[in-house]
Structure 1
Amino acid sequence: MASAALLVAGAVGCAVMPGSGGGTDTAGDTPPLVDEGFKIGLLLPESETTRYEKFDRPYITRSIKELCPDCTVLHHNAGGDSGQQQQQIDKMITHGVKVLILDAVDAETIAPSVTKAKQQGVKVIAYDRLAEGPIDSYTSFDNVEVGRMQGQALLEALEKGGNPTRGPIVMINGAPADPNAGEFKEGAHAVLDGNVRVGREFDTPDWSPEQAGIEATAAFAALGVDQVIGVYSANDGMAGGIAEAIRLSGAKPGTPLTGQDAELAAIQRILLGTQTMTIYKPIMPQAQSAAHMAIDLAAGRRLRAPTTVSNSTVKGIPSMVIAPMVVTRDNIKGTVVQDGFWSVKEICAPEQLKAACKSTGLI
């Protein structure tokens, strides 16, 4: 993941974590190990999106073990249920965790649980989504920039297809309870507004591919399937449902379609021409940053980070904000393959992808 780590350093600087010997350590170096182990809780929001269990969980666990071999990581996935996640926090507090790495299902409803954890002396790191409540630190990506990148890629695809300023397009955004969804939407509108007409726009309640497909089908029927010139999808999971809706509705093959998360199915759709782009968010440096923050918070070290963010409770939360990358058919090899996120074998396994993999230099 060396190139991803360099991306972080080049984009936002190094997250500096104080060591115990008078020097400093960057987010890419190993700090002095703590004297004894402790428990760290890892709370992930759902399993619909591939990344959480396939990448975030093992990367975080491995990074913590490298920094603190005697530490124990307790893990729960809320399955998209905010009430379940609140119960999981209670369990982890009962089991004596010193730090929680929290990727909230619902940023607002989780606030009382964050407050309860703090009252029990448990430090809380907001991971990927900025939860409300007395958060100690935060690590994520530049979500507004993600939206801008998606919007710009959609505009470029429309211009290439001879539709630079017409419309309509359909916008299918993420779940309103997820603060990242609002930032993706903000960034996309900053680029799209004034350049293309949005015919229909929806906010999915739960990032569901099935619901996204239903919403896309309804939009095609309302606007005219032969009139829609492109679709903004906030992530790859929903893009899968939308791509199927495009196929079944009789919309023009290759209708520009955005995505995010660099899921394997999305990379394959990009090669097949049924999705235009995705956003690759280098998860390893994010996981390493969370692990460093967890160790330092438990050890009582003062966090110093490249930037700060604020929620409605806390101002100036130490933060590591990582730069995302656009992935198209032309740079799959230099992004997700180069970083080991997906292998050529995984991407090109289906027989129908052999020709596309050859033409793009993957095989």
Structure 2
Amino acid sequence: MNAMTRRIAVGTVAVSIALTMAACGKAGDKGSDSGKDSKSIGLLLPENATTRYEKFDKPLIEAKIHELCSDCTVSYDNAGADPAKQAQQVNTMITKGVKVLILDAQDSVGIQSSVQKAVDAGIKVVAYDRLAQGPVSAYVSYDNEKIGELQGQALLDAMGPAATPSADVVMINGDPADPNAALFKQGAHKILDGKVKIAYEQSGLWKDTVANQKVTAAITSLGKANIKGVYSANDGMAGGIATALKGAGINVPLTGQDAELAGIQRILTGAQAATIYKAYKPEADATAEIAVDLLQNKDFKSVADTTLKSGSGTVVPSKLLPATAVNKANIKDTVIKDGLYTYAQICTADFKAACDAAGITQ
């Protein structure tokens, strides 16, 4: 090989190597963005003390997303009732490059800056169950003021003739950081005010231990003979309240919400009068459908058929679902009929006699 031929060959190899390196660089560009995926959806839930989130919401949302988009990926995390942790989880979702974020805010006000940061990063945010402040694209939940009304009416029904304007009722509300808690409270007051006397009212922060402490204090303050009923904003807190009432030898009507298995079983034994059944699947399905529509740049307004204004003033396309009050008489026609729980799950050995007495059989 003469000098000229050698120079041409070397030049050809150099060009070939350069082109190969450039091609590798382009191929790596897609993966170098921390594995970012154009079909990725993030899911952030607020806490795990309430059994619904891990048992129902998470698997139902994931299943519907994969049904609608078989090659979509879902990144999940739970805040464990820690707002600062959830804010960091939003940052992680941004880093992962999710395109849509389903967010059930632990603190709907405090999360606003994180929502803004996600939107600034090109992520579309769907507020789930609780209406987070900030520029969210859509919101899916229940008519939460109506739920409060159902709770209040269920308590009055259970109190019967004892529901008089002078009857002392203890009211244990949810966490003020949850906007739904204010709506439940508002709806319940609409029904209860004037018909009974709200003699003691506190927040239980959605924690059974806190609710137990608050009701124990109410018993000391009011006297156990004077308490005629207890409003609990959810079943988790109702569990702690039922323990406090039993310990004090008090047997009065107690409400709840979420149709937790333990709540249903307390209703059977008479330790709780009623709960509110919110069918999780319709909420999860609607949320997943909106998330996939947003991912695929499709119109989701046929699902989000109304609007709500958030605390930050944003008018948000919304889907609001109905709920049902559950007592001993309709357990079979609600949570069992819908497949939320089976007979075997509810009517274990400890509760079989109560199931038989309520006419709940296999």
Whether TM-score is above 0.5 comes out as yes
Q: Distance in 2 between matches of 1:336 and 1:163?
A: 28
Instruction: Report the Cα offset of residue 303 of structure 1.
Output: 2.6
Native 8 Å contact 2:137 2:317 kept in 1? yes
Instruction: Report the Cα offset of residue 165 of structure 1.
Output: 3.4
Q: Gapped runs of 5+ residues in structure 1?
A: 1-35
The amino acid across from 1:199 in the alignment is: A
Alignment of 1:246-257 (within 5 A): 246-251=245-250, 253=251, 255-257=252-254
Q: Does 1:178 align with 2:178?
A: yes
TM-score, normalisation: structure 2: 0.87
2:67: which partner in 1?
A: 66
Instruction: Report the Cα offset of residue 317 of structure 1.
Output: 1.1
Q: Does 1:238 align with 2:237?
A: yes
1:318: which partner in 2?
A: 317
Q: Gapped runs of 5+ residues in structure 2?
A: 1-36
The amino acid across from 1:362 in the alignment is: I
Give deviations 1:150-191, integer Å, cap 9, x for gaps: 00111111125x444331110000010000000000000000
The amino acid across from 2:266 in the alignment is: R
Matched length: 323
Q: Which has the higher contact order (CA 8 A, sep 6+)?
A: 1
Give deviations 1:247-267, integer Å, cap 9, x for gaps: 11122x2x1000000000000
Q: Distance in 1 between matches of 2:288 and 2:221?
A: 48
1:122: which partner in 2?
A: 123
Q: Does 1:278 align with 2:275?
A: yes
Native 8 Å contact 2:135 2:314 kept in 1? no
Q: Which runs of 4+ in 1 moved over 6 A?
A: none
Q: Distance in 2 between matches of 1:151 and 1:303?
A: 34
Match of 2:319, SS? strand
Match of 1:330, SS? helix
Please provide the CA RMSD for this pair: 1.2
Q: Distance in 2 between matches of 1:346 and 1:173?
A: 29
Give deviations 1:106-154, integer Å, cap 9, x for gaps: 0000000000000010000000000000010000011101100000111
Q: Distance in 1 between matches of 2:201 and 2:327?
A: 24
Match of 2:105, SS? coil
Instruction: Report the Cα offset of residue 316 of structure 1.
Output: 3.0
The amino acid across from 1:167 in the alignment is: A
Q: Distance in 2 between matches of 1:170 and 1:315?
A: 35
Determine which structure has more spread, i.e. the larger CA radius of gyration.
2
1:22: which partner in 2?
A: none
Q: Distance in 2 between matches of 1:163 and 1:291?
A: 42
Native 8 Å contact 2:169 2:231 kept in 1? yes
Native 8 Å contact 1:111 1:131 kept in 2? yes
Native 8 Å contact 1:281 1:324 kept in 2? yes
**Aligned mate of 2:352, from 326, 340, 354:** 354
Native 8 Å contact 2:38 2:98 kept in 1? no
State the identity as a percent. Answer: 51
Instruction: Report the Cα offset of residue 223 of structure 1.
Output: 0.4
Higher normalized helix content (fraction of residues) = 2
Q: Distance in 2 between matches of 1:262 and 1:312?
A: 28
Alignment of 1:71-150 (within 5 A): 71-150=72-151
**Aligned mate of 1:301, from 280, 286, 298:** 298
